[in-house]
């Protein structure tokens, strides 16, 4: 069993994630074999307080900021893409739970600020209005991290509600987890299905979906911090793209080290002495540096807008999604570029090269990164066309 360095400090989440990344890299094969994160990894993330970064201080959380979570997620992903994905989303889901009204917040965080709640958002559930809440049934896919969950947040059609759709919080004990996560990439995320059968959900554990899209939630009104006024889609787009960027950054660093040591078959040359290898390294470095600059600059601009203007225009929200999709597209390109030049030995299952390639090929299939849909969405917004709210912006 690999253990994290006990000297890793929780005071700086990004630095803590950076120091934890090599340990996560050593556990990456174990996470794949388990098809979920090792408990030791969940324990390390808990101990460092990384799940609590966006939970309000009055509930025991750290109430930091969105950019810190994104940079933390990238650093974790340099060690293990699946860990970055699960940790980033579960941390952001703490932010989503904080958007409930006071009764909902108190119910979810009754035992402390660390509440692990996967959130398959697609409105695959149906409800019937009941006194004080709803009766909920349905089946949801892509519940990343559900094997470690305390609660599950699921999307549903709200019976009789004027806004139509909502996100509903349900105790993990009241849903069935269906083991379907047999995939070629992102295997360590444990993104299994969940099923609910006629579960009662009280009103204070329901978030209207379009209120989250437009940052018009009870939590946004109650909590005096721009953190809780961010619209949902830019936050989800940036946390979902952070693992791709971190994985690409980490793999390009590994490729630079590998070509200095790799001896080519038959010729006996070191790979670094071949111009083509150095050219690949330069190309991949430029691709990743460009993606990182776009990601960091856009994230900083959005955060500044939230602090100065208190909102994001629809066009900027669409641009955030465009940036996230482009970063994933370019990160995948950089990974494929260096894997192609790394020989057959990187396709053994212990190699981080083949794992990064499989993970990014799988990750890029997420609906929010659909390149055609995303570019069409932003192009429409940029020329002033109306787009449906269901287009996720």
Looking at per-residue pLDDT, the higher value among 264 and 130 belongs to: 130
- Each residue's pLDDT tens digit, 329-386: 999 999 999 999 999 999 999 999 999 999 999 999 998 888 899 999 999 999 999 8
Q: Is the per-residue pLDDT at 264 higher than 60? A: yes
Residue carrying the six token digits 């996720």: 392
Residue 389 CB coordination number (10 Å): 12
Among 362, 38, 279, which Cα is nearest to 354's?
A: 362
pLDDT of 104 > 50? The answer is yes
> Which CATH number fits the domain 230-391, given the four candidates 3.40.50.720, 1.20.272.10, 3.40.190.10, 1.20.140.10?
1.20.140.10
d(CA 292, CA 285): 10
**What pLDDT score was predicted for residue 9?**
59
Could you tell me the fold of the domain covering 13-108?
A: Butyryl-Coa Dehydrogenase, subunit A; domain 1 (1.10.540)
Dist CA 204 CA 208 (whole Å) = 11
Inter-residue contact 145 to 124 (CB < 8 Å):
no
Predicted confidence (pLDDT) at residue 239 exceeds the cutoff of 50:
yes
The pLDDT, as a whole number, for residue 392 is 67
- The rounded distance, in Å, linking the Cα atoms of 194 and 196 is 7
**125 close to 198: Cβ distance less than 8 angstroms:** no
- Distances in whole angstroms, Cα of residue 306 to Cα of each of 112, 213, 311: 28, 15, 5
| Domain residue spans of the chain | 13-108, 125-208, 230-391
> What is the pLDDT averaged over residues 94-99?
98
Fold (CATH) for 125-208 = Butyryl-CoA Dehydrogenase, subunit A; domain 2 (2.40.110)
Strand 192-202: give its sheet, edge to edge.
176-178, 192-202, 133-143, 125-130, 151-157, 165-171, 206-208
The full length of the chain comes to 393
Residue range 265-288: average pLDDT? 94
Residue found by looking up tokens 């950076």 in the block? 18
**Do the domains spanning 13-108 and 230-391 agree at the CATH topology level?**
no
Separation in Å, CA 60 to CA 54, 89, 158: 10, 19, 31
Does the structure show a pLDDT above 60 at 212? yes
Rounded to whole angstroms, what are the CA distances from 310 to 29, 175, 313? Answer: 43, 37, 10
| Whole-number percent of the chain with pLDDT over 90 | 89
Within 13 Å of residue 124, how many CA atoms lie on the same side as its CB?
A: 17
pLDDT at 2: 46
3-state secondary structure the chain: CCCCCCCCCCCCHHHHHHHHHHHHHHHHHHHHHHCCCCHHHHHHHHHCCHHHCCCCHHHCCCCCCHHHHHHHHHHHHHHCHHHHHHHHHHHHHHHHHCCCCHHHHHHHCCCCCCCCCCCCCCCCEEEEEECCEEEEEEEEEEECCHHHCCEEEEEEECCCCCCCEEEEEEEHHHCEEECCCCCCCCHHHCCEEEEEEEEEEEHHHEEEHHHHHCCCCHHHHHCCCHHHHCCHHHHHHHHHHHHHHHHHHHHHHHHHHHHHHCECCCCCCEHHHCHHHHHHHHHHHHHHHHHHHHHHHHHHHHHHHHHHCCCCCHHHHHHHHHHHHHHHHHHHHHHHHHHHCCCHHHHCCCCHHHHHHHHHHHHCCCHHHCHHHHHHHHHHHHCCCCCCHHHCC
Q: How confident is the model at residue 7 (pLDDT cuts 50, 70, 90)?
A: low
């Amino acid at each position: 069993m690999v253990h994290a360095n006990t000297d890793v400090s929780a005071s700086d989440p990004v630095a803590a994630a950076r120091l934890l990344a090599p340990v996560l890299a050593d556990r990456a094969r174990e996470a794949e074999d388990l098809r979920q994160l090792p408990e030791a990894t969940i324990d390390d993330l808990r101990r460092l307080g990384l799940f609590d970064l966006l939970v309000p201080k009055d509930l025991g959380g750290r109430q930091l900021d969105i950019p810190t979570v994104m940079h933390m997620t990238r650093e974790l992903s340099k060690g293990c893409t699946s860990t970055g994905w699960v940790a980033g989303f579960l941390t952001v889901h703490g932010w989503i739970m904080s958007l409930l009204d006071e009764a909902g917040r108190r119910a979810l965080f009754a035992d402390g600020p660390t509440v692990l709640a996967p959130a398959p958002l697609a409105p695959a559930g149906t409800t019937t209005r009941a006194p004080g809440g709803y009766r909920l049934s349905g089946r949801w896919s892509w519940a990343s991290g559900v094997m470690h969950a305390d609660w599950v947040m699921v999307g549903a059609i709200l019976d009789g509600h004027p806004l139509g759709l909502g996100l509903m919080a349900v105790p993990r004990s009241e849903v069935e987890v269906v083991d379907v996560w047999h995939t070629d990439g992102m295997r360590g995320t444990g993104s299994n299905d969940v099923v609910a059968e006629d579960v009662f959900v009280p009103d204070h554990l329901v978030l209207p979906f379009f209120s989250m899209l437009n940052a018009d939630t009870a939590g946004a009104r109650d909590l005096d911090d721009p953190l809780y006024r961010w619209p949902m889609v830019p936050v989800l787009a940036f946390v979902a793209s952070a693992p791709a960027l971190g994985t690409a950054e980490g793999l390009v660093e590994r490729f630079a080290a590998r070509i200095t040591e790799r001896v080519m078959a038959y010729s006996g040359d070191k790979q670094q002495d071949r111009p083509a290898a150095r050219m690949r390294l330069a190309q991949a470095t430029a691709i990743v540096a460009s993606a990182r600059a776009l990601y960091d600059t856009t994230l900083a601009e959005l955060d500044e807008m939230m602090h100065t203007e208190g909102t994001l225009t629809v066009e900027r929200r669409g641009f955030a999604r465009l940036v996230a999709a482009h970063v994933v597209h370019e990160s995948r390109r950089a990974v494929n570029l260096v894997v192609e030049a790394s020989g057959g030995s990187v396709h053994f299952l212990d190699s981080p090269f083949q794992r990064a390639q499989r993970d990014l090929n799988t990750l890029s299939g997420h609906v929010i990164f659909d390149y055609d849909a995303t570019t069409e969405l932003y192009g429409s917004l940029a020329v002033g066309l109306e787009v449906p709210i269901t287009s996720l912006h």
